[in-house]
Amino acid sequence: MLPLSLEFFPPKTAEGSDKLRAARKQLYALRPEFCSVTFGAGGSTQGGTFTAVSEILAEGVEAASHFSCIGATRAKVRDQLAQLKAMNVKRIVALRGDMPSGYGMGGEFQYASELVEFIRAETGSTFRIEVACYPEVHPQAKSPQADLLAFEAKAKAGADSAITQYFYNSDSYFRFVDEARKLGVALPVVPGIMPITNSSQLLRFSDACGAEIPRWIRLRLQGFGDDTASIKAFGLDVVGDLCERLQRGGAPGLHFYTMNQAGPTLALCQRLA
C-alpha cells in the first residue's frame, strides 16, 4: 500500500477533542507518515490548530500545521513560525486561506507562493513545506492555465510537495500531474481522498470548494435518501476503486480527509491492503 497521511480539523468542544483523540488512536494503526491539522478562515482556529498539533507530536507521530496567510502581516507570520519551531514542528501546509465572511482581504500576502517564499527566507530548510493544488481547477482561478501557473509559482518559491483538493475522477488527477510536469514542476503530487459517508454534507462541501461530484455519483447518492448504510457501502466502493486506480497509476501517496472520524478511512485502507 502507498504511504499515507491523515488530516484533522481542530475541535471546538471538549467532547470533540475527546472524540478526536480516540479517532487518532485508532488511525495510528495505519502508521501515517504525518497528520495535518487545518487552520480556520483568517487563522481563526490557530490556538486549536497548534494545540492539536502539539498533542499529535506528544503521541509520537509527525504533525503538520496548516498555515494560511490571507489577512496576516509578516510580523504575525514570523511569530507563528517561531511558535511552530519551538514546538518542534517539521512540516507546514502553506495555504493562501480564506478571510472570515464580512472581512476584506487585507494583510501583506496575496498568494500562497508569497507565503512559501517568506517561510523559506525566514527559516531556510527548517520546515518541509506542503502546498495545495487543484486537479479540477481552483474555483477562483481565472483559467486552468492560470491555476497551473499558480502551482508552478509555489513550486519555484520552495515547496517540497503538494496535496490535492479531493476529487472522484482519477483522469483529472493524472492530467493535472502531466500538465505540471510539462511545465517542469517535479514536486510529488499526493491525491487528497475524501471518504463518502454523508451525501448532503459532501454535496455542500463540494459546491463550496469547487470539487466535482460526477453526475452518476450525485444521482446515486440522492437516490439513497436517508439510507446511510447504502451511502456508506456505495461510498466505500467508489472511493476504494479511485484509490486503487491512483495506486496503479503511480501516485506517490494518499492523503485522507478524515473529518475527525476513524471508521471510513480505516475501512478504505483495509480494502487497499
The Cα 153–Cα 173 span in angstroms is: 19
Q: Which residues pair with 122 in a beta bridge?
A: none
Cell of 49: 490548530
Single-letter amino acid code for the residue at 182: K
Our CA angle for 36, 41, 42, nearest 5°, is 110
Picking from 168, 191, 189, the residue whose alpha carbon sits closest to that of residue 242 is 168
Task: Answer whether 87's CB lies under 8 Å from 50's CB.
Answer: yes
- Residue 15 falls in the annotated catalytic set: no
Catalytic residue among 7, 114, 117, 130: 7
CB atoms within 10 A of CB 61: 17
Q: For residue 141, with 0-12 CB atoms within 10 Å meaning exposed, 13-18 middle and 19 or more buried, which class applies?
A: middle
The Cα 136–Cα 147 span in angstroms is: 10
Task: Answer whether 188's CB lies under 8 Å from 164's CB.
Answer: no
The beta strand positions in the chain, using DSSP E, are 4-8, 35-37, 63-68, 91-95, 128-133, 161-166, 189-193, 254-257
Spatial neighbors of 108 by CB under 8 A, at least 6 apart, are 72, 73, 74
Active site residues: 7
